[in-house]
Structure 1
Amino acid sequence: MNSELAGRLTDEGHELDVRIYFEDTDFSGVVYHARYLHFLERGRSDFLRLKGIGHRQLMSGSLGNPMAFAVRKMEIEFLRPARIDEVLLVSTRTRQLGGARVLLDQSISRDGEVLVEAQVKVAVISPEGRPMRMPKRVLEVLAPETL
Structure 2
Amino acid sequence: MDHELSGRLTDTGHSLRVRVYFEDTDFSGVVYHARYLHFLERGRTDYLRLHGIGHRELMAGGFGEPMAFAVRRMEIDFLRPARIDDVLDVETRTTLLGGARVVLDQRILCEGAVLVEAKVKVAVISPDGRPRRMPKAVAERLGGPGDPSD
In the alignment of these two chains, the number of paired residues is: 144
TM-score by length of 1: 0.96
Deviations 1:103-136 (A, max 9, x none): 0000000111000000000000001111000111
Deviations 1:74-130 (A, max 9, x none): 000000000000000000000000000000000000111000000000000001111
Deviation at residue 65 of structure 1 after TM alignment: 1.8
Deviation at residue 14 of structure 1 after TM alignment: 0.3
1:64 and 1:137 in contact (8 A); partners too: no
Q: Percent identity?
A: 75
Give the distance between the partners of 2:123 and 2:56, measured in 1 at CA.
17
TM-score by length of 2: 0.94
- Note if 1:138 corresponds to 2:150: no
Task: Give the partner amino acid of 1:143.
Answer: G
Give the distance between the partners of 2:135 and 2:101, measured in 1 at CA.
11
- Note if 1:7 corresponds to 2:7: yes
2:16: which partner in 1? 16
The residue correspondences of 1:1-147 to structure 2 (distance < 5 A) are 1-143=1-143
Give the distance between the partners of 1:96 and 1:2, measured in 2 at CA.
28
TM superposition outliers: structure 1 runs of 4+ over 6 Å? none
Give ranges in structure 1 of 5+ residues lacking alignment.
none
Deviation at residue 64 of structure 1 after TM alignment: 2.0
